[in-house]
Structure 1
């Protein structure tokens, strides 16, 4: 088993950005963690193929949480590769499948009411972006402590950024896939965008939880991997 990061470069608001979905390779089967913004399917496909893997071997997609940059292309993946198993926490699955209104949309609508005039246009765009996300049913709902992927991966509840956020711990690799529970900035692990955290105090607790694992590699969706001993 191994984990590789998939650097996906794109332009947003005139700035160059990169996100780092993770690809887990186990027994010649692939598991993708998070799917980027809408219309990122081709970008992620190209990166997987560039690394020497075939899309026909993609078996699972794990979603760490409901945010447009993490689930944006989920419906496209499911439509193109209908055999894929979609895995998420039980709490996040309610938003992803449309069973309940997402926390992020509720937050965005509340923030819009008090936004400065110069930011209202962006706020409206963001709400539209969230409302345009297609619902996808979840095949496997997981909980804190569950062992998945042939018992090689432990689900770790890391609430704060969203209530049902999960990270993934791989004991044999001494590695963690953090989602947005931790981002890599200035050689440190920090919480992601505190302004949009639904509960900053819980986010800080989750970050401490991940740091206390003392993993050798933290695969961060934003900022890329943080390695204890370098590459």
Structure 2
């Protein structure tokens, strides 16, 4: 897993603290290096772009080096800052085809009080199984619906690394650092747990969650969550 001191891995978690919905929230967009430039996995809410810029500069990059923004899903804490980002970069925007209407404004976000973030265009609609070349090896799109209709996670088989989005979380207070999606924010919990079971079938040793960041945990813990042993 890349850090500010170790760029060779090609994947960098970018933990930032933002104000979201009147509360302080720590989130983890992720940066992936490719031969073509940078991929940003999730942007964060409105107001997050400057913190992302600061992280990129600490790695020797600028926002303008981002060529692809990949949204794991349309929730405002992931996609709210997209329009702001696109004022600074000429980047391709990709998300699952089930998520695209929520990002573009054709549909209102499933969660929230109707006060949505500014809509943005989606250039590329993804499906599970798509692989994108990166400096960390191929990055595979994995369908993980439940938390959102077209939620996706990203898997790096060469590094046994999973970018879970909100399919898993790592910000709990319990003994286990990794847990399943939060029921209060997950419209289809049964489908979300089926998605966790799908993730358990992958060879995973390390996970980055949007909520909670990097966790040195993998298959055994993910299988336990899928089986309902989430304590």
Same fold (TM over 0.5): yes
1:16-165 equivalent positions in 2, closer than 5 A? 16-27=24-35, 29-81=37-89, 83-104=90-111, 108=112, 126-128=113-115, 130=116, 133-149=117-133, 152-165=138-151
CA distance in 2, matches of 1:18, 1:194: 19
CA distance in 2, matches of 1:166, 1:13: 24
CA distance in 1, matches of 2:71, 2:40: 9
- Pair 1:12–1:101, CA change in 2 (3 A): closer
Aligned with residue 197 of structure 1, among 186, 192, 204: 186
- Pair 1:219–1:79, CA change in 2 (3 A): same
Which structure 2 residue ranges, 5 or more long, are not aligned? 1-8, 219-231
Bigger radius of gyration among the two? 1
- In the superposition, the TM-score normalised over structure 1's length comes to 0.81
1:190–1:207 Cα contact (<8 Å) kept = no
15-24 vs 201-210, which moves further:
15-24
- In the superposition, the TM-score normalised over structure 2's length comes to 0.81
- Pair 1:138–1:8, CA change in 2 (3 A): same
Cα distance, 1:145 vs. partner? Answer: 1.0
User: Could you tell me which residue of structure 1 aligns to residue 168 of structure 2?
Assistant: 182
User: Could you tell me which residue of structure 2 aligns to residue 208 of structure 1?
Assistant: 197
Cα distance, 1:210 vs. partner? Answer: 1.7
- Pair 1:14–1:73, CA change in 2 (3 A): closer
CA distance in 2, matches of 1:14, 1:94: 26
CA distance in 2, matches of 1:12, 1:91: 24
Cα distance, 1:16 vs. partner? Answer: 4.4
